[in-house]
Amino acid sequence: MSRPQIAVPLGLLGFFLYIVGVMNLADLVVDIHWAVQVVFFLVAGTIWAWPAHKLILWAGHKA
């Protein structure tokens, strides 16, 4: 099995689990001050890019 064939389902599964985790954490943040919410959603909305980048590099044999 090639790396891209492994990376696609692994990436989709990881992204799905990440979304579920962020949604659960967002329930805890919803009643906190709006500034904390802004920071949480900014971080949660961008932090997934680092592991996705690493997975893409690995799938392309550049890791």
- Count CB atoms within 10 A of the CB of residue 55: 19
pLDDT the model gives residue 62: 62
User: Do residues 7 and 56 lie in contact, with contact meaning Cβ atoms separated by under 8 Å?
Assistant: yes
At residue 63, does pLDDT exceed 60?
A: no
| Dihedral, CA of residue 37, residue 29, residue 45 and residue 56, to nearest 10 | 150
Higher per-residue confidence, 1 vs 47: 47
Residue that the structure tokens 């900014």 belong to: 42
Sorted by where each begins, the domain ranges of the chain are 3-59
pLDDT the model gives residue 1: 83
**For 22-62, what is each residue's pLDDT tens digit?**
999 999 999 999 999 999 999 999 999 999 999 999 999 86
